[in-house]
Every structure is written in C-alpha cells, then in structure tokens.
Amino acid sequence: MIVRTVELSQQKSLLVTKKMDTVSFNVQKEVCAECCLALQRFIGTIDGVDSILVADGKIDILFDKDKIPETDLAKIIRNSMQKLGYRMLDES
C-alpha cells in the first residue's frame, strides 16, 4: 500500500492511501544493466506506473490500474523487451 501526504493548506495535511497493483513478468535471461536503465526510464515515466524493479530475470511493476490497464501495460512491456532483444516468458 502506498501512503502519500497531500497538502490541503499551509496548516493541514491529509494522509491518502491508495492500493497499488503489482504485475510481474519473467524474462528468458538476465537483463543487462543498460537495458534495465532503459526500461526504468521508459516504463517508469508512464502515467500510472509507480515503480519498476528489474532483477534476476524478472520485472516487477507497481502501478495504478485506474490510470493504465494491466493488459496495456503488459503489451508495452512485451514490445519494449522484444525491441531490446529479450524474449518474455509467461507472467507469474
């Protein structure tokens, strides 16, 4: 769960909690450091994506499904990985 402070005025603040969804993808082989950075720069800037972690042949994305549907995100990830020369395995 993501907790953020929203400033209402100079004297008040409100804690807003929003449950984020996680989607994971398995990659055929370990992703190189340069490709990890490229993915983080590209996928991490998509509206609705909160974070992306690429490690041990797996990509984990924390996202807001109200801003980007999981199917759209999966398509973007698959296309991006194919362009970088990686083959995706079934999602876990």
Q: What is the pLDDT of residue 15?
A: 55
Q: What is the pLDDT of residue 17?
A: 60
89: in domain? no
Can you tell me the mean pLDDT for 1-15?
49
58: in domain? yes
pTM for this predicted structure: 0.72
Q: What is the pLDDT of residue 89?
A: 87
Helix spans in 1-92 (H): 33-43, 70-83
Host domain of residue 53: 20-83
37: in domain? yes
For the CA atoms of 46, 49, 55, 59, the dihedral, rounded to the nearest 10 degrees, stands at -90
CATH number at residue 56: 3.30.70.100
4: in domain? no
68: in domain? yes
10: in domain? no
Q: What are phi and psi of 9, to 5 degrees?
A: -160, -170
The number of angstroms, rounded, from the C-alpha of 45 to the middle of its chain's C-alpha atoms is 9
Q: How many domains does the chain have?
A: 1
Condensed to tens digits (0 to 9), the pLDDT of residues 20-72 reads 899 999 998 888 899 888 888 888 899 999 999 988 889 999 999 999 999 99
The pLDDT of residue 14 is above 70: no
